[in-house]
A and B are shown apart, each in its own frame.
Chain A
């Protein structure tokens, strides 16, 4: 299944809610919890940097579990608000489209 345009950011925000992660583990979390998405993994990084620019996430260099130097991303307060807003927006969207599709 492909990721709809614009939803990658929502997925990243959700991935970070449990705590700071580096890009590789964000991608792993998304793949695991979705049960497999057709997504170029590199596309994650422009999204992450854009979110950093908007102040949704903060980044810090640290050590990965494999003891390599990695850049960790952490949700900011603004990012949390964004997650809440985007989640409810997504649900409304799905329900609306669903109602139309169920209509006879």
Chain B
């Protein structure tokens, strides 16, 4: 029996291989000894001679075993791959027989995975993608922090140009600091007029980002002088579009805002700081930049410096000049330093994370669902499993079959989900807020596909494990009982099935509750009542070229524009303002009733100023069209309201009304900045 098995058995374990090698070498030595003895040697002599001729037995055996084992393992791996192919075919056939089951499961998976994929596409583009600049982690934004005394006032604001200048001279924690603004600039060529995103920058900006013009030169100290020749540095795209990438463009002029600007340089492709700028002009000292807190500051951390360290240093510096120039820096308490990337996405980060959390829960729910479907299917086919078991299918094999089905479902769902997400992504991006950072970069690319694939695999395994274990357990049990009568016992497995279902229902309930709570938080984040009716309101932003030199001609233009808009069919109201409600404000810290005295740091009755409306109109001082509701008491705006000495104001509630207008009706209040 042993001999028979030794002769014909296919090697099954590594130890079998070792035995075979031993047998093979033994045979050689035995044959050798036999022959030597036949030639007349004594047994001892023959053995000695054989051993010597064979050489180092241990070494040869070791080498042979290593080779044989390697070969055996390769074979086994190939065999199991072939087995896997068989399992996949088996699972495919089984699923095709149950099209309704398979279709429902794949659909659930596809929708869930599509949702996860879409959210991941956003999260990746917005939160995970590094800024396209060298060492983006070192870039920081610098702002002033203000005292909390003025209710509703911004707690942080930009700097003045001289502040940034001083900061650059004194700081040790930042290797470079630059000041910039990003006003769009009117530009006209043969194709029409448009506004180009532009940067008004000081001469240090390019150094902060470590980029140099590829043609021509950067800004010099002379370019920054007031009254110097207007110059411009082109972005790569504008250079290619307008000048066909001609290096001779340097020295030519470009008309911006009806004024010729001499072209002095071209930046490399891909550089578009700030905010997609297509050209850069020097930030020259004027009252606006030097007296108002309108200049943004970007810095690069010095080697070894941390954001916290920079914040501490800049706070000390800021307090220093706040004390020296109290009238310009009233209420300044320090500096805020944030990573550039972090501050870009600060507004959307919580919302995206909540959404990602909700989707993770949704994925768990999908998992539980699919596991439930698979389990119910496993219950249905206990008989088939028992039959396969009694025909000799190993538990591992059965386990693999169930897992295969689960993976097949999840991967099909994953593919469909990815395609679904890809097909709808453009639509979802269009629905997302226009000011979402990196909105243009949201794409279903290779990494997103990899994420989807990984997710589908994970779901396949997670959802398949429980039913797979179950099928193994059932098989062992029923295989025994099925021997006699062929009936399938439901006794033991029924009780366990009940427990399983209870667990699944419990988990599902938990997940539904958790998921809906998260989604609820998310929608509440989206639906903060701003008191502004935004429906049916269209906005357009217009920059007048420099040819409108004074207020009167600008007012004249806007009034004409407003009347024109009102005349359009379907327009019920039109209004002109500096900013649409709740978007942007002038950096005016607040107003105080004239005569109110400062007591210490706190100024009683200092109130932040909202958006100044240029052309108030009708019963709604801001115009019905602006969506500002609930004006308690008002009168029609009149032409004379625009005169400088007469500035009608609308009071917010309730603080300012108490201080400024305790009674009813119109009243005069002297306000001061």
Contacts and interface: CB of A to CB of B under 8 A. Distances in A.
Interface in B26-50: 27-28, 30-32, 34
A31 to B, nearest CB: 10
B597 interface: no
B67 interface: yes
A96 B32 CA distance: 39
A13 to B, nearest CB: 17
B68 interface: yes
B275 interface: no
A50 interface: yes
Nearest to B53: A41
A68 B71 contact: no
B71 A70 contact: no
B71 A53 contact: yes
B64 A49 contact: yes
A2 B385 CA distance: 63
A42 B30 contact: no
Contact of A68 (B6, B27, B63, B64): B27
A24 B53 contact: no
Interface string A60-76: 01001010111100000
B56 A53 contact: no
Interface in A19-76: 22-24, 27, 40-43, 45-46, 49-50, 52-53, 61, 64, 66, 68-71
B23 interface: yes
Nearest to A59: B24
B27 A24 contact: yes
B67 A46 contact: yes
Q: Which of A40, A45, A61, A71 has the most CB of B within 10 A?
A: A45
B441 interface: no
Contact of A53 (B55, B57, B67): B67
A42 B31 contact: no
Contacts of B133: none
A68 B167 CA distance: 95
Given A24-B32, A46-B67, A69 B7 contact: yes
Contacts of A49: 64, 67-68, 71
A40 B55 CA distance: 5
Interface residues of B, number: 28
A102 B20 CA distance: 49
Interface string B1-32: 00100111000000000001101110110111
A45 B6 contact: no
Nearest to B23: A69
Contact of B60 (A22, A42, A61, A70): A42
B64 A45 contact: yes
B57 A42 contact: yes
A42 B7 contact: no
Q: Which of B28, B55, B60, B67 has the most CB of A within 10 A?
A: B28
B30 A43 contact: no
Contact of B55 (A24, A42, A71): A42
A42 B63 CA distance: 10
Contacts of A42: 25, 28, 54-57, 59-60
A34 B303 CA distance: 75
Contact of B20 (A24, A53, A71): A71
Contacts of A24: 27-28, 31-32
Contacts of B633: none
Nearest to B28: A24
A24 B28 CA distance: 5
B60 A46 contact: yes
Q: Which of B7, B20, B31 has the most CB of A within 10 A?
A: B31
Contacts of A66: 31, 34
Given A52-B71, A69-B6, A71-B24, A41 B55 contact: yes
Contacts of B3: 69
Nearest to A52: B71
A61 B34 contact: no
Q: Which of A42, A61, A64, A70 has the most CB of B within 10 A?
A: A42
A61 to B, nearest CB: 6
A69 B8 CA distance: 11
Contacts of B20: 71
A73 to B, nearest CB: 10
A22 B27 contact: yes
A54 to B, nearest CB: 10
Given A24-B31, A69-B7, A69-B27, A43 B71 contact: no
A45 B29 CA distance: 12
Contact of B7 (A22, A61, A64): A61
A53 B70 contact: yes
A45 B24 contact: yes
Contacts of A41: 28, 32, 53-55
Contact of A71 (B27, B30, B53, B60): B27
Q: Which of B8, B23, B27, B56 has the most CB of A within 10 A?
A: B27
A40 B56 contact: yes
B433 to A, nearest CB: 63
Contacts of A70: 24, 27
B64 A46 contact: yes
Contacts of B56: 40, 42
Given A24-B32, A40-B54, A43-B55, 16 more contacts: A22-B27, A23-B28, A24-B27, A24-B31, A40-B56, A41-B32, A45-B21, A50-B67, A53-B70, A53-B71, A61-B8, A66-B31, A68-B31, A69-B6, A71-B23, A71-B24
30 contacts: A23-B24, A23-B28, A24-B27, A24-B28, A24-B31, A27-B28, A40-B55, A40-B56, A41-B28, A41-B53, A41-B55, A42-B28, A42-B55, A42-B59, A45-B24, A45-B60, A45-B63, A45-B64, A46-B67, A49-B68, A53-B67, A61-B8, A64-B27, A64-B31, A66-B34, A68-B27, A68-B30, A69-B3, A69-B27, A70-B27
